[in-house]
Structure 1
Amino acid sequence: MSTADASGVGAVDGAGSIIVNGLRYETGAADVNIEDTPALQLGMSARVIGPVDTDFTSGIARRIDSAADVRGPLSSINLAQGSFVVLGTTITTDEATVWGDLSGLAALVPSNTVQVWGLPGAPGTLRATRVETRGASTPILTGTVQGLDPVRRTFNLGASAVDYAGATLAGGLDGRPLADGTLVRVRASALLGGRLQATQVQWWYPVPGTDGTQLQLAGIVTNFSALGSLRVLNVPINASSARINGGPSGSVGNGVKVEVAGVMSNGVLQASKLKIRHVPGTGGPVSFALSGTVGNFNSPASFRVRGQPIDASGASVVFVNGTAASLRSGVKVSVEGSQVVNGVLIANRVAFD
């Protein structure tokens, strides 16, 4: 394993240490910075900094950052397209979206406030990785800066105008100024006169572009012209020599959700791995993983691992080295599931250690 820090950006898909984009990080000595929620949970977007192995399967987290990406009232819901709109941004969902305290998209109520973690796609869009309801709260909006006017100190995020005259700017790397195309998270005091009154503009999980830096990213493909020329989270990527799994290479294109890993060279991520996670209209592989000690055991339908509620009562659940009757508080297990509904991970597989 290299001793140099790598950067990983994506959604949390496992705990027992922490798993982001399938890469398991040890977290014992990590500096953890979590905003907008008490604890890190499945589906939350995050950036992890620390050394990783050359195959991007394991690493040691030195720093973990996570914050909500959108918060505001629902203005519309489109069940047929699996999307909803908050603060002028279209938020899409897929099989991997974690529903923290909801049964799914149909349970959303227009005008209610939601808090969303997700992955920015094309300007004005974001793929939700976790959705929760919230009481009325100050707005948060994440997206791509467009129409920047540094004199008037305004720009647009999707269909929302942002006034940042009274805002602090935070999190930029390498002295790069705010510019069109920058991914940012805006925290605002209010929406007044059709404009978000920003109190803070944060660079959204910035990653270094220094030659030799290892990066692993999850996001939605944009600016696709070929495997050798695409972007994920606004990072230019050459995946022409990448090992591709999760689907045929020909399915990679704009709007496809992928995980990609490699090394930066001349401002381009030279990808060694690319995993297809969701192709619009066809879906893709979904998997959440937890390992730890069973707690709060009431029944196979109700117990926790690392604080995450789990239901392992389904008829199709596979048990390894034990049965449902072996479950009890204090037993060490590894749990895999493909869906989180009302905050509960629906288990597909439980292995006893």
Structure 2
Amino acid sequence: TPITSAVASDGTAKASKFSFGSRVVGPVTAVGTSTLTVLGQTIDIVAATVFDSSTLPGGLADITTASVIEVHGLPDSATGHILATRIESASSATSYKLRGTLTGLDTAAKTFNIGGAAISYASATLKPSSLALAENLVVRVVLATTPTSGVWSATTVGSTGRDATTGTAAHVRGTVSALDSTAKTFSVDGLKVDYSGVASVPATLANGVEVDVLGTVSSGVLVATAVTLKEECRGKHDDRFEVHGAITAVDTVAKTFTLRGLTIDTSGTVTYTGGTAAGLVVGAKVEVKGSVGSTRTTVLASAIQFER
């Protein structure tokens, strides 16, 4: 998720911060034709799902109940599932990780649930130490790799709060929580958003949905000028895809480059913003939009924006 510090006249922005957080890192316990179960979470494989071409070249066929994987995706508030955007192998993981909404909090037993995962925080470090656990709080947990009687032991429970500097233009993406339709506020992974000045707000705005928010930070609050739903992965037949990062390899003959383990194909019609095809070199930071190729390990680029 980028927090941008300035927006240029050509529509490009200089990012002051990026974070790429996965939803879950853990063992696969069930494999279906279009679903996986990982740490008690149901993962939906949808049209926009891509697999890391370097660690899972065979896509879904490479995943078994012996696999440990890392899943990036969006929460589906209607089903409670995770709609996967990207899946890669995490076979060398020494701990498991999970991000989601805390439910079933038992302060006496020091347990809570995230989806279908029962978690003990009896021996966990809270980050920050002042963190107050509560129902429906969005948290990140780090887990020991062996459960006890079906309960996972957390070593760390952390807030998903974000840093924000007063006066910066901001573009954030994340999950809505703490929606207050009277005060016209909500939180995006811990960052409070004031949408009272937004003329048109999506009618389906609700806790658990994924949003894009544009605005300006004031005293730690993002004062929104626009709120839109993050739709890339909502539809089961929607193959739009977006990925940010620095280019790690380029093949000028094949007209492809590698970005965060994905092969980006630029052989079709591509709209460039802030640069040209000649700028696609190792180390260049770009945002790519496109569709998922038939192998699910390639993204067919339709738009590329250079990020400063």
- Asked whether the two chains share a fold, i.e. TM above 0.5, the reply is yes
Matched, 1:177 2:128: no
Please show how residues 296-335 of structure 1 align to structure 2 within 5 Å: 296-297=250-251, 299-304=253-258, 309-313=263-267, 316-318=268-270
State the aligned residue count. 292
Please show how residues 1-353 of structure 1 align to structure 2 within 5 Å: 10=1, 20=2, 51-53=5-7, 58-61=13-16, 64-77=18-31, 79=33, 83-92=35-44, 96-101=48-53, 102=56, 108-119=63-74, 122=77, 125-135=81-91, 137=93, 138-171=95-128, 175-189=130-144, 190-204=146-160, 206-207=161-162, 216-221=171-176, 228=184, 232-233=188-189, 237-239=193-195, 241-242=197-198, 249-250=202-203, 252=205, 256-263=209-216, 269-278=222-231, 279-280=234-235, 283=238, 286-288=241-243, 296-297=250-251, 299-304=253-258, 309-313=263-267, 316-318=268-270, 336-339=288-291, 343-348=297-302
Q: Distance in 2 between matches of 1:334 and 1:212?
A: 25
Q: 1:58 to 1:84 in 2, by over 3 A?
A: same
Q: 1:121 to 1:57 in 2, by over 3 A?
A: farther
Counterpart secondary structure, 1:192: coil
Q: Distance in 2 between matches of 1:134 and 1:265?
A: 39
Q: How far is the alpha carbon of 1:113 from its aligned partner? A: 1.9
Q: How far is the alpha carbon of 1:287 from its aligned partner? A: 3.9
Q: Percent identity?
A: 28
Give a deviation string over 1:274-312, Cα, whole Å, max 9, x none: 2333154674864446787x9542622544479864323
CA contact (8 A) 2:185 2:193 kept: yes
Residue type matched to 2:109 in 1?
R
Name stretches of at least 5 consecutive residues in structure 2 with no aligned partner: none
Q: Distance in 2 between matches of 1:192 and 1:125?
A: 25
* Equivalent residue number for residue 17 of structure 1: none
Give a deviation string over 1:14-42, Cα, whole Å, max 9, x none: xxxxxx3xx6x5xxxxxxxxxxxxxxxxx
Q: 1:308 to 1:60 in 2, by over 3 A?
A: same
Q: How far is the alpha carbon of 1:249 from its aligned partner? A: 3.9
Q: How far is the alpha carbon of 1:259 from its aligned partner? A: 0.6
* Equivalent residue number for residue 14 of structure 1: none
Q: 1:285 to 1:162 in 2, by over 3 A?
A: same
Q: How far is the alpha carbon of 1:72 from its aligned partner? A: 1.7
CA contact (8 A) 1:337 1:348 kept: yes
Q: 1:171 to 1:105 in 2, by over 3 A?
A: farther
Q: 1:77 to 1:233 in 2, by over 3 A?
A: farther
Give a deviation string over 1:191-235, Cα, whole Å, max 9, x none: 22101022222223x136999787543234567786946664466
Q: 1:290 to 1:263 in 2, by over 3 A?
A: closer
Q: How far is the alpha carbon of 1:131 from its aligned partner? A: 1.2
Q: 1:186 to 1:97 in 2, by over 3 A?
A: same
Residue type matched to 1:163 in 2?
S
Q: How far is the alpha carbon of 1:143 from its aligned partner? A: 1.6
Q: How far is the alpha carbon of 1:95 from its aligned partner? A: 5.0
Q: Distance in 2 between matches of 1:272 and 1:150?
A: 39
Counterpart secondary structure, 1:191: coil
Q: 1:145 to 1:71 in 2, by over 3 A?
A: same
Residue type matched to 1:112 in 2?
S
Q: 1:151 to 1:129 in 2, by over 3 A?
A: same
RMSD of the alignment, in Å? 4.9
Q: Distance in 1 between matches of 2:222 and 2:253?
A: 47
